[in-house]
Chain A
Amino acid sequence: MTYQFDFGWLIDSLPVLLKGIRITVQLILIGAVFGVALGIACAWVRALGPKWLKPVVATYVELIRNTPFLIQLFFIFFGLPSLGIRMSELTAANLAMIVNLGAYSCEIIRAGIQATPRGQFEAGASLAMTPFQTFWHVVLVPALQRIWPALSSQIVIVMLGSAVVSQIAAEDLTFAANFIQSRNFRAFETYFVSTLIYLALAILLRQLLAGLGWMLFPRKASR
Protein backbone atom coordinates (compact mmCIF):
# COMPACT_ATOMS: atom_id res chain seq x y z
CA MET A 1 0.00 0.00 0.00
CA THR A 2 1.60 3.20 -1.12
CA TYR A 3 -1.22 5.70 -0.57
CA GLN A 4 0.10 8.91 0.98
CA PHE A 5 -2.36 10.53 3.38
CA ASP A 6 -2.70 14.25 2.89
CA PHE A 7 -4.70 16.54 5.11
CA GLY A 8 -3.15 19.73 3.79
CA TRP A 9 -6.39 20.71 2.04
CA LEU A 10 -8.10 21.11 5.42
CA ILE A 11 -6.90 24.68 5.97
CA ASP A 12 -8.16 26.00 2.67
CA SER A 13 -11.44 24.12 2.94
CA LEU A 14 -12.14 25.14 6.52
CA PRO A 15 -14.65 27.92 5.63
CA VAL A 16 -16.70 25.53 3.50
CA LEU A 17 -16.60 22.89 6.21
CA LEU A 18 -17.60 25.36 8.92
CA LYS A 19 -20.51 26.58 6.87
CA GLY A 20 -21.63 22.99 6.42
CA ILE A 21 -21.45 22.38 10.16
CA ARG A 22 -23.41 25.56 10.81
CA ILE A 23 -26.17 24.52 8.42
CA THR A 24 -26.38 20.99 9.86
CA VAL A 25 -26.56 22.34 13.42
CA GLN A 26 -29.17 24.86 12.39
CA LEU A 27 -31.22 22.16 10.65
CA ILE A 28 -31.27 19.88 13.66
CA LEU A 29 -31.98 22.64 16.20
CA ILE A 30 -34.96 23.95 14.25
CA GLY A 31 -36.02 20.42 13.32
CA ALA A 32 -35.86 19.18 16.90
CA VAL A 33 -37.73 22.09 18.47
CA PHE A 34 -40.58 22.22 15.96
CA GLY A 35 -40.57 18.49 15.27
CA VAL A 36 -41.01 17.60 18.94
CA ALA A 37 -43.64 20.33 19.34
CA LEU A 38 -45.53 18.83 16.40
CA GLY A 39 -45.02 15.38 17.91
CA ILE A 40 -46.52 16.50 21.23
CA ALA A 41 -49.55 17.99 19.48
CA CYS A 42 -50.07 14.84 17.41
CA ALA A 43 -49.53 12.56 20.42
CA TRP A 44 -52.21 14.51 22.30
CA VAL A 45 -54.62 14.03 19.42
CA ARG A 46 -53.93 10.31 19.10
CA ALA A 47 -54.05 9.57 22.83
CA LEU A 48 -56.62 12.05 24.18
CA GLY A 49 -57.80 14.35 21.43
CA PRO A 50 -61.11 14.77 19.61
CA LYS A 51 -62.29 11.73 17.65
CA TRP A 52 -62.67 13.52 14.33
CA LEU A 53 -59.00 14.60 14.33
CA LYS A 54 -57.59 11.15 15.05
CA PRO A 55 -57.80 9.71 11.52
CA VAL A 56 -56.15 12.83 10.12
CA VAL A 57 -53.15 12.50 12.44
CA ALA A 58 -53.03 8.71 12.03
CA THR A 59 -52.83 9.13 8.25
CA TYR A 60 -50.03 11.66 8.55
CA VAL A 61 -48.05 9.49 10.96
CA GLU A 62 -48.39 6.30 8.92
CA LEU A 63 -47.63 8.12 5.67
CA ILE A 64 -44.37 9.52 7.02
CA ARG A 65 -43.26 6.43 8.92
CA ASN A 66 -43.75 4.15 5.93
CA THR A 67 -42.01 6.17 3.22
CA PRO A 68 -38.33 7.07 2.72
CA PHE A 69 -37.12 10.40 4.06
CA LEU A 70 -35.42 11.13 0.75
CA ILE A 71 -38.72 10.80 -1.12
CA GLN A 72 -40.44 13.08 1.40
CA LEU A 73 -37.69 15.62 0.81
CA PHE A 74 -37.96 15.34 -2.98
CA PHE A 75 -41.72 15.62 -2.80
CA ILE A 76 -41.52 18.84 -0.79
CA PHE A 77 -38.73 20.39 -2.88
CA PHE A 78 -39.48 19.12 -6.40
CA GLY A 79 -43.13 18.06 -6.12
CA LEU A 80 -44.83 20.94 -4.33
CA PRO A 81 -43.71 23.66 -6.81
CA SER A 82 -46.16 22.08 -9.27
CA LEU A 83 -48.87 23.28 -6.89
CA GLY A 84 -47.26 26.70 -6.77
CA ILE A 85 -45.58 26.08 -3.39
CA ARG A 86 -41.94 27.01 -3.85
CA MET A 87 -39.28 27.27 -1.19
CA SER A 88 -35.51 27.44 -0.82
CA GLU A 89 -33.45 24.26 -0.37
CA LEU A 90 -32.90 25.11 3.27
CA THR A 91 -36.57 25.75 3.99
CA ALA A 92 -37.50 22.51 2.26
CA ALA A 93 -34.88 20.64 4.30
CA ASN A 94 -36.15 22.20 7.53
CA LEU A 95 -39.73 21.39 6.69
CA ALA A 96 -38.94 17.80 5.74
CA MET A 97 -37.09 17.23 9.01
CA ILE A 98 -39.87 18.77 11.10
CA VAL A 99 -42.52 16.70 9.35
CA ASN A 100 -40.41 13.54 9.66
CA LEU A 101 -39.50 13.96 13.33
CA GLY A 102 -43.07 15.05 14.10
CA ALA A 103 -44.41 11.68 12.97
CA TYR A 104 -41.82 9.54 14.74
CA SER A 105 -41.84 11.53 17.97
CA CYS A 106 -45.65 11.43 17.95
CA GLU A 107 -45.58 7.68 18.41
CA ILE A 108 -42.85 7.81 21.06
CA ILE A 109 -44.59 10.53 23.08
CA ARG A 110 -47.95 8.77 22.72
CA ALA A 111 -46.44 5.71 24.38
CA GLY A 112 -45.35 7.94 27.27
CA ILE A 113 -48.82 9.44 27.60
CA GLN A 114 -50.55 6.08 27.48
CA ALA A 115 -48.32 4.74 30.26
CA THR A 116 -49.74 7.42 32.61
CA PRO A 117 -51.60 5.86 35.55
CA ARG A 118 -55.35 6.53 35.38
CA GLY A 119 -55.19 8.07 38.83
CA GLN A 120 -53.28 11.06 37.45
CA PHE A 121 -56.14 11.95 35.11
CA GLU A 122 -58.65 11.41 37.91
CA ALA A 123 -56.67 13.57 40.32
CA GLY A 124 -56.57 16.37 37.74
CA ALA A 125 -60.29 16.02 37.07
CA SER A 126 -61.19 15.95 40.76
CA LEU A 127 -59.34 19.27 41.17
CA ALA A 128 -61.68 20.76 38.53
CA MET A 129 -59.05 20.88 35.79
CA THR A 130 -60.27 20.37 32.23
CA PRO A 131 -58.95 17.34 30.35
CA PHE A 132 -56.57 19.56 28.40
CA GLN A 133 -55.31 21.34 31.53
CA THR A 134 -54.69 17.93 33.10
CA PHE A 135 -52.76 16.85 30.01
CA TRP A 136 -50.69 20.00 29.86
CA HIS A 137 -49.89 20.48 33.55
CA VAL A 138 -50.06 16.95 34.95
CA VAL A 139 -49.51 14.31 32.28
CA LEU A 140 -47.03 15.81 29.81
CA VAL A 141 -43.85 16.25 31.84
CA PRO A 142 -43.84 12.75 33.42
CA ALA A 143 -44.76 11.31 30.00
CA LEU A 144 -41.77 13.03 28.39
CA GLN A 145 -39.57 11.90 31.25
CA ARG A 146 -40.61 8.28 30.65
CA ILE A 147 -39.65 8.31 26.97
CA TRP A 148 -36.81 10.87 27.02
CA PRO A 149 -34.05 8.36 26.12
CA ALA A 150 -36.04 7.05 23.13
CA LEU A 151 -36.92 10.57 22.01
CA SER A 152 -33.29 11.66 22.32
CA SER A 153 -32.20 8.76 20.12
CA GLN A 154 -34.80 9.65 17.52
CA ILE A 155 -33.55 13.25 17.41
CA VAL A 156 -29.99 12.00 16.88
CA ILE A 157 -31.20 9.68 14.12
CA VAL A 158 -32.89 12.60 12.39
CA MET A 159 -29.71 14.66 12.75
CA LEU A 160 -27.67 11.94 11.07
CA GLY A 161 -30.40 11.44 8.48
CA SER A 162 -30.16 15.12 7.61
CA ALA A 163 -27.14 14.15 5.46
CA VAL A 164 -29.54 13.41 2.59
CA VAL A 165 -30.63 17.06 2.32
CA SER A 166 -27.41 17.54 0.35
CA GLN A 167 -29.33 15.83 -2.46
CA ILE A 168 -31.43 18.96 -2.99
CA ALA A 169 -28.30 21.11 -2.68
CA ALA A 170 -28.96 22.32 0.83
CA GLU A 171 -25.43 23.23 1.85
CA ASP A 172 -25.08 21.06 4.93
CA LEU A 173 -22.02 19.19 6.18
CA THR A 174 -22.43 16.34 3.68
CA PHE A 175 -22.83 18.83 0.85
CA ALA A 176 -19.62 20.50 2.01
CA ALA A 177 -17.78 17.16 2.13
CA ASN A 178 -18.93 16.23 -1.37
CA PHE A 179 -17.94 19.65 -2.62
CA ILE A 180 -14.46 19.49 -1.07
CA GLN A 181 -13.90 15.93 -2.26
CA SER A 182 -14.77 16.86 -5.84
CA ARG A 183 -12.06 19.53 -5.71
CA ASN A 184 -9.23 17.71 -3.94
CA PHE A 185 -10.00 14.09 -4.96
CA ARG A 186 -9.01 13.08 -1.43
CA ALA A 187 -12.09 10.94 -0.78
CA PHE A 188 -10.67 9.00 2.16
CA GLU A 189 -9.42 12.02 4.08
CA THR A 190 -12.46 14.18 3.32
CA TYR A 191 -15.02 11.60 4.39
CA PHE A 192 -12.87 10.57 7.33
CA VAL A 193 -12.91 14.14 8.60
CA SER A 194 -16.65 14.56 7.99
CA THR A 195 -17.31 11.24 9.75
CA LEU A 196 -15.43 12.52 12.79
CA ILE A 197 -17.41 15.75 12.72
CA TYR A 198 -20.73 13.89 12.55
CA LEU A 199 -19.58 11.69 15.41
CA ALA A 200 -18.66 14.72 17.50
CA LEU A 201 -21.95 16.45 16.67
CA ALA A 202 -23.96 13.35 17.61
CA ILE A 203 -22.16 12.99 20.95
CA LEU A 204 -22.60 16.68 21.62
CA LEU A 205 -26.30 16.49 20.77
CA ARG A 206 -26.80 13.52 23.11
CA GLN A 207 -25.08 15.44 25.91
CA LEU A 208 -27.24 18.46 25.21
CA LEU A 209 -30.42 16.37 25.34
CA ALA A 210 -29.30 14.64 28.54
CA GLY A 211 -28.65 18.07 30.07
CA LEU A 212 -32.05 19.31 28.94
CA GLY A 213 -33.68 16.29 30.56
CA TRP A 214 -31.75 17.01 33.72
CA MET A 215 -33.18 20.54 33.76
CA LEU A 216 -36.71 19.60 32.73
CA PHE A 217 -37.41 16.70 35.06
CA PRO A 218 -37.34 16.78 38.84
CA ARG A 219 -34.69 14.89 40.75
CA LYS A 220 -34.56 13.80 44.31
CA ALA A 221 -32.38 16.08 46.37
CA SER A 222 -30.58 13.08 47.85
CA ARG A 223 -29.44 11.73 44.50
Chain B
Amino acid sequence: MSLIAITEVKKRFGDNEVLKGISIDIAPGEVVAIIGKSGSGKSTLLRCINGLETIDEGSIVVAGAQFLPDEVHLKALRLKVGMIFQQFNLFPHLTAGGNVMLSQMVVKKTPKKDAEAVARKMLDRVGLAHKFDALPDELSGGQQQRVAIARALAMQPIALLCDEITSALDPELVAEVLAVVKELAAEGMTLVMVTHEMRFARDVCSRVVFMHQGRVHEIGAPEEVFSNPRTPELRQFLGVQ
Protein backbone atom coordinates (compact mmCIF):
# COMPACT_ATOMS: atom_id res chain seq x y z
CA MET B 1 0.00 0.00 0.00
CA SER B 2 1.60 3.23 -1.08
CA LEU B 3 1.72 6.26 1.18
CA ILE B 4 1.94 8.79 -1.62
CA ALA B 5 0.18 7.88 -4.84
CA ILE B 6 0.82 10.17 -7.78
CA THR B 7 -1.21 9.12 -10.81
CA GLU B 8 -0.98 10.56 -14.31
CA VAL B 9 -0.42 14.10 -13.03
CA LYS B 10 -0.35 16.83 -15.64
CA LYS B 11 0.39 20.47 -14.98
CA ARG B 12 0.48 23.40 -17.35
CA PHE B 13 1.67 26.97 -16.89
CA GLY B 14 -0.21 28.64 -19.74
CA ASP B 15 0.83 26.84 -22.92
CA ASN B 16 3.84 25.29 -21.27
CA GLU B 17 3.13 21.76 -20.05
CA VAL B 18 5.67 21.20 -17.27
CA LEU B 19 4.35 17.85 -16.01
CA LYS B 20 3.28 15.52 -18.81
CA GLY B 21 1.70 12.65 -16.95
CA ILE B 22 3.69 11.67 -13.87
CA SER B 23 2.96 8.47 -11.97
CA ILE B 24 4.96 7.51 -8.90
CA ASP B 25 3.98 5.42 -5.90
CA ILE B 26 5.92 5.94 -2.71
CA ALA B 27 5.77 3.42 0.11
CA PRO B 28 5.94 4.35 3.83
CA GLY B 29 9.52 4.85 4.97
CA GLU B 30 10.89 5.29 1.49
CA VAL B 31 13.45 7.98 0.79
CA VAL B 32 13.06 9.15 -2.78
CA ALA B 33 15.41 11.53 -4.54
CA ILE B 34 14.19 13.45 -7.55
CA ILE B 35 17.00 14.56 -9.82
CA GLY B 36 17.09 16.27 -13.17
CA LYS B 37 18.02 19.46 -14.98
CA SER B 38 16.40 22.75 -14.03
CA GLY B 39 13.14 23.08 -15.92
CA SER B 40 12.54 19.33 -15.85
CA GLY B 41 9.56 19.84 -13.53
CA LYS B 42 11.02 18.30 -10.39
CA SER B 43 10.30 21.22 -8.06
CA THR B 44 6.84 21.68 -9.56
CA LEU B 45 6.05 18.02 -8.88
CA LEU B 46 7.15 18.38 -5.26
CA ARG B 47 5.09 21.55 -4.83
CA CYS B 48 2.03 19.77 -6.23
CA ILE B 49 2.30 17.08 -3.57
CA ASN B 50 1.38 19.54 -0.83
CA GLY B 51 -0.85 21.72 -2.89
CA LEU B 52 1.34 24.77 -3.43
CA GLU B 53 0.57 24.27 -7.13
CA THR B 54 -2.70 23.06 -8.54
CA ILE B 55 -2.77 20.18 -11.00
CA ASP B 56 -4.66 20.11 -14.27
CA GLU B 57 -5.13 16.35 -14.61
CA GLY B 58 -4.49 13.19 -12.64
CA SER B 59 -4.61 12.67 -8.90
CA ILE B 60 -2.40 12.89 -5.84
CA VAL B 61 -3.37 10.98 -2.71
CA VAL B 62 -1.33 11.07 0.49
CA ALA B 63 -2.39 8.50 3.09
CA GLY B 64 -6.01 8.78 2.06
CA ALA B 65 -5.96 12.57 1.75
CA GLN B 66 -6.86 13.51 -1.80
CA PHE B 67 -5.47 16.71 -3.28
CA LEU B 68 -8.44 18.92 -4.12
CA PRO B 69 -8.09 22.68 -4.36
CA ASP B 70 -10.38 23.69 -1.51
CA GLU B 71 -9.39 24.79 1.97
CA VAL B 72 -10.61 21.68 3.80
CA HIS B 73 -8.82 19.21 1.54
CA LEU B 74 -5.69 21.32 1.35
CA LYS B 75 -5.47 21.48 5.12
CA ALA B 76 -5.93 17.71 5.46
CA LEU B 77 -3.22 17.13 2.86
CA ARG B 78 -0.79 19.61 4.38
CA LEU B 79 -1.21 18.16 7.85
CA LYS B 80 0.18 14.92 6.41
CA VAL B 81 3.10 16.31 4.44
CA GLY B 82 5.57 18.88 5.68
CA MET B 83 7.71 20.91 3.35
CA ILE B 84 11.24 22.32 3.63
CA PHE B 85 12.26 25.07 1.23
CA GLN B 86 15.47 26.08 -0.45
CA GLN B 87 15.29 29.55 1.13
CA PHE B 88 14.31 28.25 4.64
CA ASN B 89 11.39 30.71 4.82
CA LEU B 90 11.57 31.12 8.58
CA PHE B 91 9.27 33.77 10.01
CA PRO B 92 11.66 36.68 10.68
CA HIS B 93 9.68 38.23 13.55
CA LEU B 94 9.59 35.05 15.62
CA THR B 95 12.37 33.29 17.52
CA ALA B 96 13.44 29.78 16.53
CA GLY B 97 11.14 28.47 19.25
CA GLY B 98 8.32 30.75 18.10
CA ASN B 99 8.70 29.51 14.54
CA VAL B 100 8.27 25.91 15.70
CA MET B 101 5.36 26.77 18.03
CA LEU B 102 3.25 28.95 15.75
CA SER B 103 1.49 26.46 13.50
CA GLN B 104 0.88 24.06 16.37
CA MET B 105 -1.00 26.79 18.22
CA VAL B 106 -2.74 28.31 15.20
CA VAL B 107 -3.66 25.18 13.26
CA LYS B 108 -3.87 22.46 15.90
CA LYS B 109 -4.93 24.81 18.73
CA THR B 110 -2.29 23.23 20.94
CA PRO B 111 -2.00 25.09 24.28
CA LYS B 112 1.09 27.31 24.43
CA LYS B 113 2.79 25.23 27.12
CA ASP B 114 2.46 22.00 25.17
CA ALA B 115 3.52 23.67 21.93
CA GLU B 116 6.62 24.98 23.67
CA ALA B 117 7.46 21.52 24.99
CA VAL B 118 7.14 20.07 21.49
CA ALA B 119 9.22 22.93 20.07
CA ARG B 120 12.01 22.31 22.56
CA LYS B 121 11.96 18.61 21.74
CA MET B 122 12.07 19.23 18.00
CA LEU B 123 14.83 21.82 18.23
CA ASP B 124 16.77 19.36 20.38
CA ARG B 125 16.25 16.73 17.69
CA VAL B 126 17.98 18.95 15.12
CA GLY B 127 20.69 19.91 17.61
CA LEU B 128 19.50 23.45 18.27
CA ALA B 129 17.93 23.29 21.74
CA HIS B 130 20.23 26.13 22.84
CA LYS B 131 18.92 28.43 20.07
CA PHE B 132 15.30 28.46 21.23
CA ASP B 133 15.30 32.23 21.80
CA ALA B 134 17.42 33.23 18.80
CA LEU B 135 15.90 35.17 15.92
CA PRO B 136 16.38 33.75 12.39
CA ASP B 137 18.69 36.69 11.61
CA GLU B 138 21.03 35.53 14.33
CA LEU B 139 21.40 32.02 12.93
CA SER B 140 23.60 30.66 10.16
CA GLY B 141 21.99 29.27 7.02
CA GLY B 142 22.50 25.71 8.18
CA GLN B 143 20.95 26.48 11.55
CA GLN B 144 18.01 28.24 9.91
CA GLN B 145 17.38 25.23 7.71
CA ARG B 146 17.48 22.93 10.73
CA VAL B 147 14.93 25.15 12.50
CA ALA B 148 12.78 24.88 9.38
CA ILE B 149 13.02 21.09 9.63
CA ALA B 150 12.06 21.22 13.32
CA ARG B 151 9.14 23.48 12.41
CA ALA B 152 7.85 20.97 9.86
CA LEU B 153 8.39 18.04 12.23
CA ALA B 154 6.43 19.73 15.02
CA MET B 155 3.27 19.21 12.97
CA GLN B 156 3.98 15.46 13.04
CA PRO B 157 3.74 14.89 9.31
CA ILE B 158 3.94 11.38 7.89
CA ALA B 159 6.11 12.55 5.02
CA LEU B 160 8.52 15.41 4.40
CA LEU B 161 9.11 17.12 1.08
CA CYS B 162 12.53 18.73 0.68
CA ASP B 163 12.93 21.22 -2.16
CA GLU B 164 16.68 21.64 -2.79
CA ILE B 165 17.16 22.25 0.90
CA THR B 166 20.95 22.57 0.72
CA SER B 167 21.21 24.60 -2.50
CA ALA B 168 21.26 27.99 -0.74
CA LEU B 169 23.84 26.92 1.83
CA ASP B 170 27.57 27.52 1.95
CA PRO B 171 29.41 24.26 1.25
CA GLU B 172 30.60 23.85 4.82
CA LEU B 173 27.03 24.06 6.14
CA VAL B 174 25.56 21.42 3.84
CA ALA B 175 26.77 18.50 5.95
CA GLU B 176 24.96 19.53 9.16
CA VAL B 177 21.62 19.71 7.34
CA LEU B 178 22.13 16.44 5.49
CA ALA B 179 23.08 14.75 8.76
CA VAL B 180 19.68 15.70 10.18
CA VAL B 181 17.92 14.40 7.06
CA LYS B 182 19.90 11.18 7.20
CA GLU B 183 18.83 10.68 10.81
CA LEU B 184 15.18 11.22 9.88
CA ALA B 185 15.54 8.66 7.11
CA ALA B 186 17.03 6.19 9.57
CA GLU B 187 14.08 6.75 11.91
CA GLY B 188 11.73 5.72 9.13
CA MET B 189 10.40 9.10 7.97
CA THR B 190 9.13 9.09 4.42
CA LEU B 191 11.13 11.64 2.45
CA VAL B 192 10.80 12.99 -1.05
CA MET B 193 13.68 15.26 -1.91
CA VAL B 194 14.61 17.27 -4.95
CA THR B 195 18.36 17.41 -4.67
CA HIS B 196 21.64 18.05 -6.41
CA GLU B 197 23.58 16.12 -3.77
CA MET B 198 24.23 13.02 -5.84
CA ARG B 199 26.41 11.32 -3.26
CA PHE B 200 23.74 11.81 -0.63
CA ALA B 201 21.09 10.45 -3.00
CA ARG B 202 23.24 7.41 -3.66
CA ASP B 203 23.99 6.76 0.01
CA VAL B 204 20.67 7.44 1.69
CA CYS B 205 17.86 7.11 -0.83
CA SER B 206 15.94 3.97 -1.54
CA ARG B 207 14.90 5.14 -5.00
CA VAL B 208 15.98 7.76 -7.47
CA VAL B 209 13.70 9.43 -9.97
CA PHE B 210 15.30 11.11 -12.96
CA MET B 211 12.99 13.66 -14.52
CA HIS B 212 13.42 14.99 -18.01
CA GLN B 213 11.12 17.37 -19.89
CA GLY B 214 8.18 16.84 -17.56
CA ARG B 215 8.33 13.05 -17.55
CA VAL B 216 9.82 10.38 -15.31
CA HIS B 217 12.66 9.38 -17.56
CA GLU B 218 14.25 6.74 -15.36
CA ILE B 219 13.39 5.39 -11.95
CA GLY B 220 15.08 2.78 -9.85
CA ALA B 221 17.37 1.93 -6.96
CA PRO B 222 20.29 4.36 -6.68
CA GLU B 223 22.93 1.77 -7.63
CA GLU B 224 21.01 1.04 -10.84
CA VAL B 225 20.37 4.64 -11.77
CA PHE B 226 23.84 5.93 -10.98
CA SER B 227 25.96 2.95 -12.03
CA ASN B 228 23.97 1.80 -14.97
CA PRO B 229 22.09 4.71 -16.58
CA ARG B 230 20.09 3.39 -19.51
CA THR B 231 19.21 6.55 -21.40
CA PRO B 232 21.57 9.05 -23.04
CA GLU B 233 19.82 11.93 -21.22
CA LEU B 234 20.63 10.49 -17.79
CA ARG B 235 24.17 9.63 -18.88
CA GLN B 236 24.63 13.20 -20.00
CA PHE B 237 23.09 14.55 -16.78
CA LEU B 238 25.41 12.43 -14.65
CA GLY B 239 28.38 13.27 -16.84
CA VAL B 240 29.27 9.67 -17.69
CA GLN B 241 29.88 8.24 -21.14
Contact = CB atoms under 8 A, between A and B. Distances in A.
Nearest to A123: B89
B229 interface: no
Interface string A137-167: 1100110010000000000000000000000
Given A133-B106, A137-B106, A142-B92, A128 B138 contact: no
Contact of B93 (A124, A127, A128, A141): A141
Nearest to B86: A119
Interface size class of A (residues with CB under 8 A): 20 to 34
Interface in A122-137: 122-130, 133, 137
Interface size class of B (residues with CB under 8 A): 20 to 34
Chain B CB within 10 Å — which of A130, A141, A217, A218 has the most?
Answer: A218
Contact of A120 (B51, B71, B91): B91
Contacts of A124: 103
A200 B194 CA distance: 59
B79 A119 contact: no
Contacts, number: 73
A127 B138 contact: no
B52 A126 contact: yes
A222 interface: yes
Contact of B155 (A127, A137, A145): A127
Interface string A108-127: 00000000010110111111
Interface string A74-117: 00000000000000000000000000000000000000000001
A128 B107 contact: yes
A30 to B, nearest CB: 27
B167 to A, nearest CB: 14
A51 interface: no
Contact of A145 (B52, B78, B93, B135): B93
B114 interface: no
Contacts of A138: 91, 102
Nearest to B105: A137
Given A120-B91, A142-B93, A220-B138, A126 B83 contact: yes
A127 B104 CA distance: 9
A123 B155 CA distance: 13
Contact of B82 (A119, A126, A142, A220): A126
A153 to B, nearest CB: 22
B89 A133 contact: no
Interface in B90-133: 90-95, 102-103, 106-107, 133
Nearest to A133: B106
A127 B75 CA distance: 9
Given A122-B52, A137-B106, A217 B82 contact: no
Interface string A185-223: 000000000000000000000000000000001101110
Interface of B: 50-52, 71, 74-75, 78-79, 82-83, 85, 87, 89-95, 102-103, 106-107, 133-135, 137-138, 148, 151-152, 155
7 contacts: A122-B85, A126-B52, A126-B83, A126-B85, A145-B93, A218-B95, A218-B135
Interface of A: 117, 119-120, 122-130, 133, 137-138, 141-142, 145, 217-218, 220-222
Q: What are the 7 closest A-B residue pairs judged by CB atoms, nearest first? A: A127-B103, A123-B89, A126-B83, A119-B89, A128-B78, A141-B93, A128-B107
